[in-house]
Amino acid sequence: MSARMTRNHRLLGLTAAAATTALLLTGCVSNEPPEEENDGDAVSQEDSSGGTANDEPGETVTIGFSAPAADHGWMGAITRAALDEAEGYEDVELRQAEATNDVNMQISHIEQFINEGVDAIVLLPFDGDALTEIAIEAMEAGIPVINVDREFSSPFAARATILGDNYGMGVSAGTYICEQLGDQSDAVVAEIQGIANLPLTQDRSQGFADALSDCGLSVSTQVSADFTIQGGETATSNLLQAEPEIDAIWNHDDDQGVGVLAAIENAGRDEFFMVGGAGSLDVMEEIQAGDSVLQATVIYPSTQAADGIKLARLVAQSKNMGDLASAGVPRTTQLFAPVVTADNVDQYLSIGFRS
């Protein structure tokens, strides 16, 4: 059978097994295989205590994990959460590749996982396009790949994909600003992007523009930083010099937000409110204190790779997500981008990360 026919056969099988869905993963899923039917009644997957059997030990599985270097607070949190999740399962043996931003080195790490015959691979690629072919090789070797955050360029490269919602971040931020500004059609709304030419940045900006448009607002001024503290400070200084009066600011990234806040403080400006992005613990503490222009942030979950570990375990053990009527783990899971404010910040502190 040709490689193309093999890939088509695999994709058809996966598509028939589980339709694409978007939901927030919770711990309330079941790994237990369905019991035999009894008089046509649905079988409950809850244990006698009212919980679920998802975390009960099963057959030991070996999971390979690879992610880029932790040169950013969010990326460091991604890796820590994955390691902590794996540590919580006595039936998971995690093999962590050295974190790297070198595409060729990351490819070699996946090749090693394939040669070792691991049961599953959780992969956050430095570059989704560049890691696609080696991910396909793993899939063709019978090793399910769980793709995290940065998508591959082929549907044949992953058994399941876990994504944040960049467009949804923009929508959430824009909707919140609309709620605060009401019918002030002449309000000055500024936007501080990360790296402007990245697809994720463009998605965030598009969602933001769409949400603002829905309430009659638009972005008055847009500047770009580079997801770093220094970049955030420089971009914001330029913004504040160009705009003498601002009503609201959305900053795409809480790590660069440290520099954004420094520039705001240096300029002595406080006539506006600000919304962050990603959900760092530093920002949540600012929101909680209530003495800053920083009024809210939008979550971009740093738990995606931890969810990847959970799904890899389910797939490798041939188990299901019990909260779904359909069998098997979904092909795509996109996580929600909620707005964190002083009213609900306590609910999110546990998943905040240090910038």
Domain ranges of the chain: 25-37+51-164+302-335, 166-300+340-351
Instruction: Measure the CA angle with vertex 151, ends 197 and 315; round to 5°.
Output: 160
Predicted pLDDT of residue 355: 80
pLDDT in tens, the chain (355 residues): 433 333 333 333 333 333 333 333 333 333 344 443 433 333 334 443 343 566 789 999 999 999 999 988 999 999 999 999 999 999 999 999 999 999 999 999 999 999 999 999 999 999 999 999 999 999 999 999 999 999 999 999 999 999 999 999 999 999 999 999 988 989 999 999 999 999 999 999 999 999 999 999 999 999 999 999 999 999 999 999 999 999 999 999 999 999 999 999 999 999 999 999 999 999 999 999 999 999 999 999 999 999 999 999 999 999 888 778 888 899 999 999 999 999 999 999 999 999 8
What rounded mean pLDDT belongs to the chain?
Answer: 87
Residues 6+ apart with CB under 8 A from 288: 342, 345, 346, 349
Residue 264, φ and ψ in degrees, nearest 5: -65, -45
β-strand partners of 120? 63
Exposure letters 267-290 (e unless 16+ CB within 10 A, then b) = eebeebbbbbbbbbbbbbebbeee
Predicted pLDDT of residue 6: 38
The CATH number of the domain covering residues in 25-37+51-164+302-335? 3.40.50.2300
Predicted pLDDT of residue 323: 79
The tens digit of pLDDT for each residue in 161-170 reads 999 999 999 9
Dihedral sign (CA 283, 228, 165, 138): negative
Token pair belonging to 258 = 């440290």
The tens digit of pLDDT for each residue in 234-281 reads 999 999 999 999 999 999 999 999 999 999 999 999 999 999 999 999
The tens digit of pLDDT for each residue in 287-323 reads 999 999 999 999 999 999 999 999 999 999 998 887 7
The CATH architecture of the domain made up of 166-300+340-351 is 3-Layer(aba) Sandwich (3.40)
Predicted pLDDT of residue 348: 97
